Structure 1
Amino acid sequence: MDWRLHASLDKGRRRLLAAALTLGAALALPCLPALGQDWHDQHWTGTWGAGPGGPPLPATTQTFTDQTLRLVVHTSIGGKRVRIRVSNEMGTTPLRIGAAHVALRAAGADIVAGSDRPLTFGGNAWVVLPPGAPALSDPVDLDVAALSDLAVSLYLPGTVGATTIHGTASQTNYVSLPGDFTAAPTFPTQRTILSWPFLTEVAVDGGSGGGGAAIVALGDSITDGTRSTPDTNNRWPDWLARRLQTVRDPVVGLNARLGVVNRGISGNRLLSNPPEGSLAGRSIQERFDRDVLATNGVRYMTLMIGINDIGNSSETNPVTATDLIAGYRQVIARAHAKGIAVYGATLTPFEGAGYYSPEKEVVRQAVNAWIRSGDAFDGVIDFDRVTRDPANPARFLPAYDSGDHLHPNDLGYQAMGNAVPLELFRSLKTGKTEMAPARQ
């Protein structure tokens, strides 16, 4: 064949091929949006959460062998759809969850008939979480009421150590006999636990009712609800959630949808990490991004932290008010950079507690004076004023003292929750969310 004819044929073939590719691309382009779901109209808001601690020492690590966990959580707001966040963020080996379900809780470990929903992760009925990683489930349709109980069931094949765990749940949770019982209406309980392994958040979507905003309560054991009565939801953030659902404050608005996500961890500190093996969580400065910024719909944050920094400080290297204030300023700056309003809570009395000293009381008073000054926070919640004994301001009011002179009892937590000014959340109005103005 003459080379000129051959070249001409090759050139024609190339033109035909190019035209075909162009036509194919043009025909394919309109279909591309159908490859993914439209998520722009979703309004996810945290309705419940817990801050994970760990990893515990091997000798104190809870283990589960081919068992199902049924974990009970109490919602703050309701929604039409639900999803969960599970975590292996404290783990050093992959975590396999063989199946996961969510349902309305009936009583104990049992669920409401017809409410069970299997959860998937990227379309799969199982998920493997790499060390240090969380995972979000796919959404499922479920009518969730505010101030109600959900049961989240996780099947753990093989032998699994609870290296990522919230240690002080003040809530009875359930461990099954061997087997996958994630869908079981009546749960075959082998034992109960007062902790939340692996589960760190439940979020709801308001659907056509619009979005909401989450308040993250960041702190230590006094936010965590230590020494409150188990299974009664008497932590102070629980009382705040009740008020937001039941008190029709005209400042906040009748249709405000404010979720309350409790990120208190017992033993937690602002500036330093606890000893190895503790479940007290990483310092606030270390866990801020994970426990605050990653919360669905976060718009507000309360910060009550520092009493463990003060109480555990050594005589040779004591923590000062200046140290704590510098730490607070860092947290405030990081929150403001993401459009989150921060409300500072004064530190409650602790005279009589095991780590109290007059010198440490001076630091607490100095910190509280700075918080009250309004120098940096967007607002102040004066828990100290509400809980102290007027006859001895360094101590809890006896009616509010759980007995250890550090933590409130149920009545004290109720007083704290009732003391949070609802006008702090005035910027959330019907159908529109705006951040409260921040002081610089």
Structure 2
Amino acid sequence: MTSVGYAGHLPDRAQAARRVRRAPGRRPASSRFGRGCRVGAALLAVAVCPSVSAHAAEPLPASVGRASAVVTWAASADQLSEGAAGDGYRLIVHTSVGGSGLRVRVTNAFGDRPLTLDSVWAGVRDRGAALRRGSNRRLTFGGARTVTVGAGAVAWSDPLPGTVPAGTDLAVSLHTPDAAGPASGHGMAMQTSYTGQGDHTAEESGTNWTQTTGSWWYLDAVSVRPSRASTRAVAALGDSLTDGWHSTSDLDRRWPDYLARRLRTARTDIKGVANEGISGNKVLADGAGRSALDRLGRDVLTLPGVRTVFLFEGVNDIKAHTGVTAAELIAGYREIARRVHAAGKCVVAATVGPFEGWPEWDPAGESVRRQVNQYLRSTHDVDAVTDFDRVLRNPHDPDRILPFFDGGDHLHPNDRGMRAMADAVDLSRLNCAR
């Protein structure tokens, strides 16, 4: 069993996690079902073990067979509201890199008691909560259909035969017979998923998934084995700007999503993208999620196939009026870089964007932001720097975000800003000589 000893905190928007409306049954934008999804039935033929005994949580091996596992989707877990016995969750996630041997990681990282999942399935989403015919297959854990995950732990499933293409809407369906106490998951998904009473995980129809949720429950990572052994991933460690606040929900328009699209057609070994942003997160202090320093190991360094950590945090430390100095924030960056390098991975950092006009902006915080950005532009502590400040700022008023990129609150970029950020990343610098 892999144990994660964090207590957890309720994220700012965790109350949006529970069911919010009746399932609309609307079709997502066609761009969410690319040419790879036409072979969605490739996620097929799996031998199902009849055992229903509970199995302890296990870490994912570094490799399965000859091919190394690489994360294709991830979202940082935090404490959600109370779990409910007998509930089912059909969680929609979008793959970045394609491959075979799909595995999912279920999480009880913030639970205070064991969590049992007695049915876990994965299939390719068609529309709404409905799946492509013939694509839904049961996942097992150590050969068992049931897994019990201890408090503070995670568990990886066994690999599924078949392949999953890049850019696929994957539906992971979970059922828990006895959930209680704090649930673990990602509060602000910017993605509609589905819930229902009872176990309908094996069904490909969406009929019994009658309610919706804006969170990912009990799921925090998916991996595949890419066809090329050299394929690796980048993990974006960030706050709400990485989490995607003010991007359009259900269309995968967070900046890491745009980055994944660029990587898909680029001549690079970096193909996977893991979005480890938490809205309201800070580098130095707990609050909306554990601090970046605290959660780096669980959320990033345990993910399979990560070559590079992309660090884009700091604005919440600066605007919190807690007296954080530039020196303190820089020390936090240096510690993250040191730990990532010690793990043999690369670090790319991004400058902190402008936010004058946000209610918490003040000249003192602006001074800290400028000092931090000056450090980032000149440091050798990281392997590369992406200057998101220069991308987003108004050239005529550099303390403010360019109106064309402003999501409306003078801090968070809209879809155009998210795309501009992704376009500014030098793909050749996502790998380093380490």
CA deviation string 1:62-86 (max 9, x = no partner):
5433121000000111002200001
Q: 1 CA distance for matches of 2:252 and 2:162?
A: 23
Worse-superposed segment, 159-168 or 212-221: 159-168
Deviation at 1:338, TM superposition (A): 0.8
Worse-superposed segment, 75-84 or 159-168: 159-168
Q: 2 CA distance for matches of 1:265 and 1:105?
A: 25
Show the counterpart of 1:389: 394
Q: 1 CA distance for matches of 2:281 and 2:254?
A: 16
1:45–1:211 contact (8 Å) kept in structure 2? no
TM-score normalized with structure 1 length = 0.82
Q: 1 CA distance for matches of 2:199 and 2:368?
A: 52
Deviation at 1:212, TM superposition (A): 1.4
Residue from 282, 292, 296 that aligns with 2:300? 292
Question: What is the DSSP-based 3-state SS (H/G/I as helix, E as strand, rest coil) of the residue aligned with 1:163?
Answer: strand
1:162–1:198 contact (8 Å) kept in structure 2? no
Residue from 303, 311, 323 that aligns with 2:328? 323
Question: What is the DSSP-based 3-state SS (H/G/I as helix, E as strand, rest coil) of the residue aligned with 1:164?
Answer: strand
Q: 2 CA distance for matches of 1:211 and 1:114?
A: 31
Show the counterpart of 2:178: 158
Listed as ranges, the matches of 1:8-23 within 5 Å are none
Deviation at 1:258, TM superposition (A): 1.6
Listed as ranges, the matches of 1:24-35 within 5 Å are none
CA deviation string 1:299-331 (max 9, x = no partner):
1010011110111133xxx00000001111111
Listed as ranges, the matches of 1:28-427 within 5 Å are 39-54=64-79, 56=80, 61-161=81-181, 163-176=183-196, 178-187=197-206, 188-207=208-227, 209-246=228-265, 248-249=266-267, 252=268, 256=269, 258-274=271-287, 280-314=288-322, 318-425=323-430, 427=431
Q: 2 CA distance for matches of 1:411 and 1:384?
A: 15
CA deviation string 1:400-431 (max 9, x = no partner):
00111110011110110111111113x5xxxx
Show the counterpart of 2:26: none
Q: 1 CA distance for matches of 2:353 and 2:414?
A: 13
Identity of aligned residues (%): 45
Q: 2 CA distance for matches of 1:375 and 1:333?
A: 12
Q: 1 CA distance for matches of 2:98 and 2:229?
A: 12
Q: 2 CA distance for matches of 1:89 and 1:354?
A: 33
Question: What is the DSSP-based 3-state SS (H/G/I as helix, E as strand, rest coil) of the residue aligned with 2:76?
Answer: coil
Show the counterpart of 1:4: none
Gap change, CA 1:257 and 1:343, over 3 Å in 2: closer
2:73–2:96 contact (8 Å) kept in structure 1? yes
Show the counterpart of 1:23: none
Q: 2 CA distance for matches of 1:257 and 1:240?
A: 11
1:344–1:371 contact (8 Å) kept in structure 2? yes
Larger Rg: 1
Deviation at 1:375, TM superposition (A): 2.8
Deviation at 1:211, TM superposition (A): 4.5
Deviation at 1:377, TM superposition (A): 1.0
2:115–2:179 contact (8 Å) kept in structure 1? no
Deviation at 1:257, TM superposition (A): 5.0
Deviation at 1:227, TM superposition (A): 1.4
Query: Which 5+ residue runs of structure 2 have no aligned equivalent?
Result: 1-60
Gap change, CA 1:112 and 1:160, over 3 Å in 2: farther
The amino acid of 1:235's aligned partner reads R
Q: 1 CA distance for matches of 2:64 and 2:163?
A: 19
1:300–1:342 contact (8 Å) kept in structure 2? yes
Two-structure CA RMSD over aligned residues (Å) = 1.6
Deviation at 1:210, TM superposition (A): 2.6
Question: What is the DSSP-based 3-state SS (H/G/I as helix, E as strand, rest coil) of the residue aligned with 1:330?
Answer: helix
* Number of residues of Structure 1 aligned to a counterpart in Structure 2: 372
1:83–1:140 contact (8 Å) kept in structure 2? yes
2:112–2:182 contact (8 Å) kept in structure 1? no
Q: 2 CA distance for matches of 1:45 and 1:398?
A: 38
Show the counterpart of 1:11: none
Deviation at 1:374, TM superposition (A): 2.7
Deviation at 1:42, TM superposition (A): 3.1
1:44–1:211 contact (8 Å) kept in structure 2? no
Gap change, CA 1:407 and 1:130, over 3 Å in 2: same
The amino acid of 2:164's aligned partner reads V
Question: What is the DSSP-based 3-state SS (H/G/I as helix, E as strand, rest coil) of the residue aligned with 1:377?
Answer: coil
Question: What is the DSSP-based 3-state SS (H/G/I as helix, E as strand, rest coil) of the residue aligned with 1:411?
Answer: helix
Question: What is the DSSP-based 3-state SS (H/G/I as helix, E as strand, rest coil) of the residue aligned with 1:157?
Answer: coil
Deviation at 1:116, TM superposition (A): 1.2
CA deviation string 1:162-190 (max 9, x = no partner):
521211100000001x2211111112122
Question: What is the DSSP-based 3-state SS (H/G/I as helix, E as strand, rest coil) of the residue aligned with 1:292?
Answer: helix
Q: 1 CA distance for matches of 2:182 and 2:210?
A: 17
2:116–2:179 contact (8 Å) kept in structure 1? no
Question: What is the DSSP-based 3-state SS (H/G/I as helix, E as strand, rest coil) of the residue aligned with 2:125?
Answer: strand
The amino acid of 1:331's aligned partner reads I
Q: 2 CA distance for matches of 1:189 and 1:92?
A: 28
Q: 1 CA distance for matches of 2:85 and 2:394?
A: 49
Question: What is the DSSP-based 3-state SS (H/G/I as helix, E as strand, rest coil) of the residue aligned with 2:260?
Answer: helix
Q: 2 CA distance for matches of 1:74 and 1:90?
A: 24
